[in-house]
A and B are shown apart, each in its own frame.
Chain A
Amino acid sequence: MSNDLHDHRHCLELFEKLSEYLDDELDEATCKDIEKHVKECVACFVCLQTLKRTVDLCKHAGDRPIPRDFSRKLREVIHNLPKTPSA
């Protein structure tokens, strides 16, 4: 892998598509183009790996438990709504 082969115009063009690549939303030819490019371009390879890790971390962001007092209050509010919804 070498930065000498770095074609900056091509790099920017593919940089725009890295999320679509990670989401499997690109056609096969563009995927192959990206895979070939990141083998030759360290900066884009690093970008792809760090972006992939960012997405993985986001998917694990986790949920906070709903406060019990609020959950109770929410049920009271729902209970006190009119028995038939009216827009």
Chain B
Amino acid sequence: MTAPKRANFKKIKDKDFELIRAINSGQYGRFPDLVKRYEQKLYNFSLRMCRDPADAEDTVQEIFINVFKYLKDFRYEAKFKNWLYRIAASTCIKRRRKSKFAPERELSLDAFYHQEESESPNQVPNWALMPLDRMLNNELLDQINQAVFSLPEKYRLVIVLRDIEGFSTAETSQILNVSPANVKVRLHRARLFLRDKLKGYFENE
């Protein structure tokens, strides 16, 4: 008789597991609790990915329908939130492919580097030094969100997951099914792109 195989992963602690187990054991009436827990986050994630509020609403609805459909396949091997965002990101990408958007732009690192070099700044601009709480206002938040909207999708997905939603490089890599190295490359370019947008905004303020 052979010893039972041990699972090749650490036991995950997750506040969502109890609710997911309840739903998966047949308490489907608790699914709205899951919706309540994540609708706000997924609405904002979808809004950042779709740009248009009506599209974002359709996307959130589709995400929850997919979650309902596939929840029984959840294996409790990773945090539920990571699995949820994997469905969310995949739903956003599929919806985009169905639409008639032009092919995505690539962001080149050289473009950001040479720009920096030619400007030869001799001091840190005020906007990078001011206390953060004195800077944050609705107009600036709107600028940040507009700058995020203007990123090509594959860069936008990464910066939204990493810097706005707070996932780690490893988690983002699993959610998007791309290598951690690729996540890092995309994130750096996305940040440089946003930095240029913010620089433009503060210079023209």
User: A18 contacts B188, CB within 8 Å?
Assistant: yes
User: B188 contacts A16, CB within 8 Å?
Assistant: yes
User: B68 contacts A78, CB within 8 Å?
Assistant: yes
User: A49 contacts B129, CB within 8 Å?
Assistant: yes
Bound state CA distance, A12 and B163, in angstroms?
A: 24
Interface residues of B in 29-70 (CB under 8 A from A): 31-32, 35, 39-41, 43-44, 47, 53, 57, 60-61, 64-65, 68-70
CB<8 Å pairs between A and B, sample of 20: A3-B122, A11-B117, A12-B113, A15-B116, A16-B188, A19-B187, A25-B169, A50-B124, A57-B140, A57-B198, A58-B163, A59-B163, A59-B166, A66-B43, A70-B43, A75-B35, A78-B64, A79-B32, A85-B71, A85-B72
User: A49 contacts B195, CB within 8 Å?
Assistant: no
Those 5 A-B pairs whose CB atoms lie nearest each other, nearest first: A19-B188, A58-B163, A53-B128, A54-B195, A63-B44
User: B40 contacts A15, CB within 8 Å?
Assistant: no
* B60 neighbours in A (Cβ, 8 Å): 70, 74
* B69 neighbours in A (Cβ, 8 Å): 85-87
Bound state CA distance, A75 and B28, in angstroms?
A: 13
B→A interface (CB under 8 Å)? 28, 31-32, 35, 39-41, 43-44, 47, 53, 57, 60-61, 64-65, 68-72, 109, 113, 116-117, 119-125, 127-129, 132, 135-136, 140-141, 144-145, 148, 159, 163-164, 166, 169, 184, 187-188, 191-192, 194-195, 198-199
Given A43-B116, A73-B61, A78-B68, 6 more pairs with CB closer than 8 A: A15-B109, A20-B188, A57-B136, A58-B164, A61-B164, A81-B68
A56 at the A/B interface (Cβ < 8 Å)?
Answer: yes
Chain A binding surface SS class: helix
* A45 neighbours in B (Cβ, 8 Å): 124
Contact partner of B136 (CB less than 8 A), chosen from A18, A60, A78, A86, is A60
Bound state CA distance, A37 and B140, in angstroms?
A: 31
Bound state CA distance, A47 and B39, in angstroms?
A: 37
A28 at the A/B interface (Cβ < 8 Å)?
Answer: no
* A63 neighbours in B (Cβ, 8 Å): 40-41, 44
User: B121 contacts A52, CB within 8 Å?
Assistant: no
User: A50 contacts B128, CB within 8 Å?
Assistant: yes
* B145 neighbours in A (Cβ, 8 Å): 61
How far in angstroms is the closest Cβ of chain A from B13?
Answer: 23
* A57 neighbours in B (Cβ, 8 Å): 132, 135-136, 140, 144, 198
Bound state CA distance, A8 and B110, in angstroms?
A: 13
CB contact under 8 A between A46 and B123, given known A54-B191, A57-B198, A61-B145: yes
